Chain A
Amino acid sequence: MAGHSVVGKSIIRLDALDKVTGKAKYCEDLKLPGMLYGKVLRSPYPHAHITSIDTSRAENISGVRAVITGRDVPEKRYGPSVFDQHTLARRVVRYVGDPVAAVAADSVEVAERALGLLKVEYEKLPAIFDIEEAWEKNPPVIVHRDLPKYELGKFPPPRLVPDRPNVCYLRTLRHGDVERGFKEADLIVENTFSTTRLQHCPFEPHVSIAQAESDGSLTIWAGRQSIFLARQYLCKIFNLLPSQVRVIASHYVGGAFGCKVTLYTEPIAAMLSMKTGRPVKLTFTREEMFSSGGTRIPFVIRIRDGVKKNGTLVARDMEMLLGMGAYAGSGPLITRNCIYATVATYRIPDAKIDAYAVYTNEPPVTSFRGFGSTQVLWAVESQMDVIAEELDMDAVELRRRNLLEEGDTNITGEIVHSIGVRECLDKVADSLEWGRRSKKEVGPWKRGKGLALGNKYSMAPTGALAIVKVRGDGIIEVHESADEIGQGCNTVLAQIAAEEFGVSVDEVKMVWGDTAFTPYFSRGSTSQRTTFNVGNAIRLACQDAKRQIFEIAAERLHEPPQDMDIKDGTIYVRSNPSQGMSITELFTSERTLLPGEFGDFVEKSAEILGKGVWVTRPAPSDPETAQIPENVARMGGRLAGFFGYGVQGVEVLVNTETGEVTIEKVVAASDVGYPLNPKMCEQQIEGGVAMGIGSALWEEVALDQGKVLNPNFGNYKMVTSMNMPKTDNVKVFLISAPHKEGPYGAKGTGETQMTPTAPAVANAIYNAVGVRIKDLPITRERVFRALREKAGE
């Protein structure tokens, strides 16, 4: 965009220098004087009564400072939406890995040894693992018998299904009349797809240090996302006021991808600190990350589509079962939001969606990059190719015919704004040479191309505040509470402040991550919301600071403040640019007023403090139909902050003898609204592609009777450097469909780019060898079996 000097440029990341020199500090690197180390004893059974716990032997080891069990934890349950969880299990354990007791000791080794001496007796209960079975009206096992009596949170508004006792939330969408739609259809296509559990595998595991303060308040240093959400949950658990809980994440966080929005270590560390009075650090082992650190929700998706011969979608009916595992966590919110993936891209006159959140005795799930959209799009975008095949129509053409356009009404009644999906699709089809078949095939290796459309909303409501401090040194100090989880938010946010003040990012200092000192950001850096919301808050804060600066300068320069502007630290008069003064000159040296060495201050206000508040509000929608009232939609009422769009195309080689798949080429186009830092947009996109490829082909938390079989990086297979296409064959295009409310038109892009990868890969495999895999991951063995089955036909 013309006229910008800092945004829109690939400014070097502010954190890069510290990270390449090893100076960057993470929570896992922190140590406090007198600090103890916590360890957690976990249930070996998927469902059992705890009949007794004997802690005496563990307590007697030298170096053990505290042992806590379910008896020590508050009776009141907590949770983000369904209050179904205790910090430590009190009477019942519901998954393999459920925390049962915890120890604080002088060292990790001593704590570990103490765990081995805790004696817990269980009475095993029957357990349930199958999502569809658990969803039934008379399931053999009910995971939470007292669910109807549990307290329920407000977001999302609770909705139980009384005759399905393992369902803790139901989301429904009704648009038009789906049966009428199917009657009009020339072809009806019905399929069932499924996705599996993934682990986020942030390289820094869950970790926190808790200090119970002597006044009853609590200080937590945590490697996490969403410090204010953590504060809210901790207040609920310990019955404290927000001012009594301070959560600090002003360090770097070693990756998150969604799982660090949930509380895992914090309440246990806090209780151990309350018992000992000393700071307690609790770090998850990699094994605990897999068993108890949250996984992506497995979905079973039944999708039924009606289409006309010409490819027009006329009806869609989806029924989705989401496996929560033993505790709902953010699952109900994901159940509520996952339907937006269906809403975002295509025109569908008649639609019906039911999504159920279902308990099982498997490990609890949590938010994962994509927040349900990824799983829904696995089904939708695979299904689009199936439809194209059945209609004998080109898959790109089928999609083009059904795309929503700016100003269209989607299936929630929202009027579509900022939709760059068509341009993304054109770009990918072009770059992939869609329709042209590559010849290079050797032996059993067959080549194919596939693509898929992706999208991801950014959740609303979101409230973000920013404070901008301007001092005599001319540095613009920005206080905000985005989480520096690896995405580099501070760099982009600094660019925004620098742009507003007409300075370089070197003149901007970022201060972040402390609920006691940095301003509110409702759910933190989740839902690709930081740039949009905090970015806007910073713009407003800068404008507020500039207004004050101009007012002070106006008095000195005897010109009206509205004629002032600022560039390179100099305030000048627009009508007479030679007339001006530096920011520094606004400040009076205290020495001129008082003897002695003091800092500089502005006589009127000591420091200039600009404040910006940004709130993204969702439109109200009907709880049963998910429809936004027409008058609200017409006034611009929206489902979410914005939709990011991304299209990916891949070229694969498939070995018809072994089922092996290699990714030869990836083309990704992403509608980011406006790329504030193009290289950093590419980072998110390439990372999303890699995670998408992993999720497509290998990644799966394998369970047997609820126990994780592969809780390590050896057997949980993420993408390695060998599995990505050559660097020349990873092509990224940034598309700009500016958002009217985005800072400089920008939207977020952290999540969007994981949403289309898996179906694009599946579509390419079909194109190569003619087998349709409907369950993730598409392992070599699955492809092999499908090929065998096809050959046997």
Chain B
Amino acid sequence: MGPFEYFEPETVEEALSLLRKYSDTAKVCAGGTDLVVRMRKHLVNPQFVIGIAGIRELDYFRFEDDEGLRVGCLTNIRTIERSPQLQERYTMLPQVARQFGSIAIRNVATIGGNLCNALPSADMAPMLIALSAKAKLVSIDGERIVPLEDFFTGPGKTVLRADELLVEVRVPTPPPHTSGVYQKYTTRGGEELAVVGVATLVTWGSKDERCTDVRIVLGTVVPAPMRAKEAEAILKGKRIDDELIEKAAQIAADESRPRDSIRGSADYRREMVRIITRDVLRQAFERTQSAR
């Protein structure tokens, strides 16, 4: 690994000026659980590494009444998993976090790092997209807010510019009678990357038993996490039964674009998208109904 020069900015401003200066010769390192592995394999060979772990102001989450949850990019996955407040108000996020790596990884890996590395198998992304989360990106020139749905552009690729830092994730408060479920499917069971990852978020109307809104977001089986909009469309506004769920799952599978890999052939993975989508939809519907 290396060689590279290492910087430890203590403020966001310092980090931004380093980013402006070194641009794409630099890599930002938060927890490093992805980056260190990739540098060791020489998949990336930055000349400069900007270690932001010391910028304590970026390690937080808080609730703002008008805009919901705000999570600083340095918040680690274990914090999300263990927070009683998140457990109460955003149950689906701890549920995702628990499926992420192992405890020792979750203790270090950050939400910002997971999103910016943009692996198709990144576990946090699908649910955050389902929740209509946005990312706050800042540079010396200012800031911009980008919906996470538009953030990812391909495997390892995002709209983040070389001089920008993702500093915060904003997650709107889910409407009442909403529940979300994420499930990853792997080849063994254990600490491993997803072969298929599906997040769903379901909202029921307050009066009748129709589903007023639904999100189905696919991970891993697409170059970048993606909403299965056609599948969503056939559920939205409908009374939901098992037949409809089966149908939506099939459509989601058709919308996925898995590739052949050592983790499974495209055909198999597509079929697993169907099964996992069906299972998460069932679970989400059951949860919302039992909560009503």
Contact = CB atoms under 8 A, between A and B. Distances in A.
A binds B: yes
Contacts of B3: 109, 113
B187 A658 contact: no
B264 interface: yes
Please report whether the interface of chain B is mostly helix, strand, loop or mixed according to DSSP. Answer: loop
A722 B262 contact: no
B275 A723 contact: no
Interface stretch (A324-332, A583-591, A634-642, A776-784): A776-784
Nearest to B191: A720
A556 B41 CA distance: 71
A75 to B, nearest CB: 34
Given A658-B185, A714-B193, A781 B264 contact: yes
Interface in A692-718: 697-698, 702, 709-710, 714-715, 717
Please report whether the interface of chain A is mostly helix, strand, loop or mixed according to DSSP. Answer: loop
Given A109-B1, A658-B275, A698-B187, A781 B192 contact: no
A113 B42 CA distance: 11
A702 B264 CA distance: 12
A622 interface: no
B261 to A, nearest CB: 9
Contact of B192 (A657, A709, A714, A779): A714
B196 to A, nearest CB: 10
A445 to B, nearest CB: 13
B271 interface: yes
A685 B17 CA distance: 59
Contacts, number: 44
Contacts of B188: 697-698, 717, 720, 723
Given A658-B275, A714-B192, A715-B262, A109 B187 contact: no
B84 interface: no
B184 to A, nearest CB: 13
Nearest to A785: B268
Given A722-B189, A723-B190, A784-B268, A709 B262 contact: yes
Interface in A715-732: 715, 717, 720, 722-723
A784 B274 CA distance: 14
B275 to A, nearest CB: 5
B272 interface: yes
B54 interface: no
A698 B189 CA distance: 10
Interface in A658-693: 658, 660, 662
Contacts of A780: 187, 264
Interface residues of A, number: 23
Contacts of B41: 287
Interface residues of B, number: 20
Interface string A234-273: 0000000000000000000000000000000000000000
B190 A722 contact: yes
B173 to A, nearest CB: 34
A186 to B, nearest CB: 40
Given A702-B262, A709-B262, A720 B275 contact: no
Given A109-B1, A781-B265, A717 B271 contact: no
Contacts of B185: 658
B2 interface: yes
A25 to B, nearest CB: 25
A702 to B, nearest CB: 5
Contact of B190 (A109, A660, A720): A720
Interface string A49-92: 00000000000000000000000000000000000000000000
Interface string B185-217: 101111111000000000000000000000000
A21 B263 CA distance: 38
Interface string A321-358: 00000000000000000000000000000000000000
Given A660-B189, A720-B189, A780-B187, 19 more contacts: A109-B1, A109-B2, A113-B3, A657-B275, A662-B189, A698-B187, A702-B262, A709-B262, A715-B262, A722-B189, A722-B190, A723-B188, A723-B189, A779-B187, A781-B187, A781-B264, A781-B268, A784-B268, A785-B268
Interface of B: 1-3, 41, 185, 187-193, 262-265, 268, 271-272, 275
15 contacts: A109-B1, A287-B41, A658-B185, A662-B189, A697-B188, A702-B262, A710-B262, A714-B193, A715-B262, A717-B188, A722-B189, A723-B190, A780-B187, A780-B264, A781-B264
Question: What 10 A-B pairs are tightest by C-beta distance, nearest first?
Answer: A720-B190, A717-B188, A781-B268, A702-B262, A698-B188, A709-B262, A722-B190, A781-B264, A657-B275, A722-B189
Interface of A: 109, 113, 287, 657-658, 660, 662, 697-698, 702, 709-710, 714-715, 717, 720, 722-723, 779-781, 784-785
